[in-house]
């Protein structure tokens, strides 16, 4: 690969201490993203997709969380060894995040203007820690706020909020769910981030609004050259919005491929099961297949491949050994013993 990776997660292991025992949340996550990628991270509840994403801006509370092995590097810099103040600057300038629930992520007591201007000012302040005696030479606070206001209106225009210059004085409750999500996207873009992490951005929204937000994200990718990590449990959203997909199961990426290849030619039994479980066109009554069993307990996960108790094609080796990730096609890899190494 000629282009260096923007984000490189290698063999990441994450554990949480709880009263019931140690929860092994991530067990060797490998994930690479190049600049301009739109990668979908798919999996069911508890598979670790949000935890993987949160480990990039290092937003996992530690303790109780603990990274026991692995590396996260961004633009060649090692994230895990940064100090907390370096992390603050890093988050402000390189990573923007949006979350599932646009209601809880906006403060109901402040107008959108106050919240957006704050975000813009915070991002600007990072990296230019001016010593006190030089403060007087900075552009006046008033002017900075004015500039930040203009930038905030610009961000609202960019994210498709009509009448941004007037609506910026409104409170969050005066916005609908879709519009609130747009405000949050605007806020995430305030620092011109390289990477936008979208954690289930459309799960709380109706389908017609979901389509609007996905279209917005795609247009931002085209306009700003954003790199997007889209976390979702909805395979349809991935098919519509992403170029590459990584499927996670119980703390590992078990298959990764370009999006078309994954849907046409899924390799891992879990991926196959997941695709077969979605009610699609042309599936007649009784034709839907679920995956038997349920997601494993992460305190005492199954030995070997964590999927083996639910797998239809389980072999003896699966019960004892963790399968390595092998290439099964062009940019297509999976962690399953059904496929021999060195194809």
Supply the minimum distance, in Å, between the C-beta of residue 73 and another protein: 30
Q: How far is the CB of 69 from another protein (least distance, A)?
A: 28
In the complex with another protein, the residue whose CB is nearer, 257 or 334, is: 257
CB atoms within 10 A of CB 83: 7
Q: How far is the CB of 95 from another protein (least distance, A)?
A: 26
Minimum separation from the CB atom of position 182 to another protein (A) = 11
Least separation in angstroms between residue 104's CB and another protein is 17
**CB nearer another protein, residue 219 or residue 321:** 219
Q: Identify which of residues 40 and 65 has a Cβ nearer to another protein in the complex.
A: 40
Q: CB nearer to another protein: give 122 or 263.
A: 263
d(CA 66, CA 13): 8
Please measure the distance between the N-terminal and C-terminal CA atoms of the chain and give it in whole angstroms: 19
From the CB of 51, what's the least distance to another protein, in Å?
A: 17
Binding-site ranges for another protein (CB under 8 A): 44-45, 176-179, 206-212, 214-215, 233-240, 259-260, 263-264, 273-281, 283, 285-286, 288-292, 294-295
Q: Is 92 or 245 the residue whose CB approaches another protein more closely?
A: 245
**Which is nearer to another protein, 69 or 283 (by Cβ)?**
283
Nearer to another protein (CB atom), residue 211 or residue 326: 211
Cα(42)–Cα(206) distance, integer angstroms: 20
**How many Å apart are CA 339 and CA 343, to the nearest integer?**
8
């Amino acid at each position: 690969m000629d282009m260096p990776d923007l984000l490189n997660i290698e063999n990441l292991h994450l554990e949480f201490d709880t009263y019931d025992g140690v929860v092994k949340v991530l067990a060797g996550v490998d994930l690479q993203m190049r600049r301009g990628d739109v990668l979908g991270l798919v999996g069911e509840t508890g598979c670790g997709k949000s935890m993987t994403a949160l480990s990039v801006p290092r937003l996992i509370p530690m303790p109780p969380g603990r990274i026991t092995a692995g590396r996260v590097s961004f633009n060649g810099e090692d994230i895990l060894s940064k100090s907390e103040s370096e992390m603050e600057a890093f988050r402000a300038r390189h990573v923007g995040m949006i979350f599932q629930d646009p209601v809880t992520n906006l403060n109901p007591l402040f107008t959108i203007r106050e919240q957006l201007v704050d975000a813009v000012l915070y991002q600007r302040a990072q990296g230019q820690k001016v010593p006190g005696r030089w403060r007087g030479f900075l552009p006046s606070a008033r002017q900075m706020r004015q500039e930040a206001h203009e930038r905030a209106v610009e961000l609202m225009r960019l994210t498709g909020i009509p009448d941004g210059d007037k609506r910026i004085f409104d409170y969050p409750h005066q916005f609908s769910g879709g519009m609130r999500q747009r405000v949050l996207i605007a806020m995430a873009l305030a620092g011109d981030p390289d990477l936008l992490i979208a954690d289930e951005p459309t799960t709380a929204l109706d389908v017609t609004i979901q389509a609007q937000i996905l279209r917005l994200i795609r247009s931002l990718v085209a306009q700003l050259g954003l790199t997007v990590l889209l976390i979702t449990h909805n395979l349809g959203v991935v098919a519509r919005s992403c170029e590459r997909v990584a499927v996670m199961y119980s703390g590992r990426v078990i298959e990764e491929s370009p999006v078309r290849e994954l849907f046409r030619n899924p390799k891992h039994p879990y991926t196959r099961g997941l695709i077969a479980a979605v009610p699609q066109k042309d599936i007649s009554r009784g034709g839907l297949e679920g995956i038997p069993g349920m997601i494993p307990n992460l305190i005492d996960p199954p030995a070997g491949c964590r999927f083996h108790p639910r797998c239809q094609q389980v072999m003896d080796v699966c019960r004892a050994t963790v399968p390595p990730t092998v290439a099964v096609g062009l940019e297509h890899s999976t962690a399953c013993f059904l496929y021999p190494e060195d194809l």
